[in-house]
Every structure is written in structure tokens, then in C-alpha cells.
Structure 1
Amino acid sequence: MSTAPQTFISYGPPVSLDIAQRVAGAAEAEARANGWPMVIAVMDSAANLVVLHKMDHAQIGSVEIAQAKARSTVRFKRPTRVFEEALAAGGLNLRLLATEGACPLEGGLPLMHEGRLVGAIGVSGMQSTQDAQVAAAGAGAL
């Protein structure tokens, strides 16, 4: 019986302010292109906030949610969509509700450099799929 080796994601050096601003800027450009008022949070590989960007007319509640998405992504080394899909599936996955810091809302993505997690972006303000679209534009700028 053959088993494939597991691949583990390692944490890398923290994302710099320059890079975090570039990521947030790309996310903002995507949000503006669609007319979506968003909050964009970029955290480093230790889940420290590097950039928090609240666009005009973004709902105040999204400030905390964007940060929660980015923090969850760093802590658990995965996009927040994984948690959203697991909860939607129900059953034993509902145990996730007891996992402190796991944000089950799409819109949090890891920032990877040379195969290592150097930070995360979290976006909130619209529907989860739209948040994810804006986060992907930001992550793509890395």
C-alpha cells in the first residue's frame, strides 16, 4: 500500500508593509471596479495587522469581520472558505463551531511566497463570494 507524503505549509517571514500595501491596493482596485464598499485587512505570518483599509461607505461591522477572516487564515493555514463549506455540509463538521478563531465566512486567503505563508488578506463588505473575489485580486498582487 502506497501513501502519498503529506505536504505541510510552513510559515515564512512576515509580509512587509510595502507588500501589504500592494496587496490591499490591488484588492481595493477590484472592489472599486465593481462599486463595492469593502474593508480590507492584511496580516503578517504571525497574525499581526499590517494594513487595515476601510473604503468610504463600507459597513462598520466589516472592520472586525475582515480582520477575523485574515487572522483565521493565518492561524489555520487555509482559506476561510474551507470552514464555510464544512459548516454548510453539517454533520460532524458542526464541531467547527467550537474551534476558537475559525471564521466560517469566505473572503480570507493566504498570502504565499516561495511556498510559505507570509500573511493573509481578509475582505468583508458584500456577499462572501464577492469578498472572496476582492481578496483573490489582492492575493494575486503578491
Structure 2
Amino acid sequence: MPISKWSAIAAVSLVSMTSRAHADDEPKYGSDISVATAKVIAAAAVKSCGDHNWPMAIAVTDTHGALVYYEKMDDTELGSAQAAVEKAASAALYKRPTRAFYDVTAKAGPFMLTMPGVLAAPGAWPVLKDGKIIGALAASGGTGDQDDVCAKAGLAAL
């Protein structure tokens, strides 16, 4: 099957996103997030989700994408439970919000291109402390914009 024009553009965009991972102005990795800090940001994200009545799963990973803390609200769809973990790992491993991948793949038309370890859906953000990435936080269960609202509320708790 031939590659469409949009698929080729998305592939080039994804590759360029990863090559920028080594830019001098991009945050470096710091020490991994502690369980105590993960619980604080997850609690703030869960509170935001609850305030909006959006059942979601919240995942916090370390810099390597390994799960540090996880919470699933009642009535969260099962697919979102796994997606939260995968989105957080993507944000940690590639040093960027997962919306960046979503925006690139959205331009690919009906083709969804991805890379290993990437879930191209909004709702996950690297967690920064003293300008360094210490992990990532993801919310999953609503629309992409709703996921972002909850995740950003968690980050604001730092």
C-alpha cells in the first residue's frame, strides 16, 4: 500500500520531533519523582476531575516511564485506565506533552502514525522540578481537552 502524502508528512514531523529532543534549550532529566510528590500531583488532578464530574485514570511515571503512582476513579472506562499509563510514559520518554504527537498525527488524515512508546493523545505532561524533568503525569478518560485540564491541575500543585 503506497504511503499517502499526509502519512509521509506526519512521519517526517515525528522524526523531527525526536531529533529536537537533544536541543540545548530543552529540559534535561533530573532525579526521579518521589512517591510523595507523585501522590500530591495525582491528588490535585483527581480533585480537578471530580470537580468537573469527569471519571478518569491518573498515572505518574518516573523519567524512564516506569509507573510510580496510579489512581482510577470509579466509572472510568477501562481503556482509559491503560491509556493513562502509556501517555505518562510517552511524555517522560520524549520530554514533551503528548498533545504534540496528537497534533502531528491529526494532520495525517485517516492514518495514525506513531513511534515506539508513544500514545499520541492529549493529557500527559512532563513534570518539572528546578527546570529538570523528574517524571510525567497523565490523565485519561475524557476528551483530550478534559484530560489536559486535569493533568495541568496536577502540575499546578507542585
TM-score (norm 1): 0.90
- Per mean C-alpha deviation after superposition, the further-off stretch among 61-70 and 5-14 is 5-14
Aligned residues: 136
Which residues of 2 match residues 66-85 of structure 1 at below 5 A? 66-85=84-103
- Aligned residue in 1 for 2:6: none
The AA in structure 2 aligned to 1:57 is: D
The AA in structure 2 aligned to 1:35 is: N
2:46 corresponds, among 28, 32, 45, to 28
Which residues of 2 match residues 95-106 of structure 1 at below 5 A? 97-106=113-122
- Aligned residue in 2 for 1:117: 133
Distance 1:15 1:96 in 2: 31
TM-score (norm 2): 0.81
Q: Structure 1 stretches (4+) deviating beyond 6 angstroms?
A: none
Unaligned runs of 5+ residues in structure 2 are 1-22
TM-aligned CA distance change 1:18 to 1:128, over 3 Å: same
Unaligned runs of 5+ residues in structure 1 are none
2:114–2:120: 8 Å Cα contact kept in structure 1? no
2:148 corresponds, among 121, 132, 135, to 132
Distance 2:73 2:26 in 1: 35
1:90 corresponds, among 108, 113, 135, to 108
Distance 1:72 1:107 in 2: 11
- Tell me the CA shift for residue 89 of structure 1: 2.3
RMSD: 1.8
Percent identity between matched residues is 36
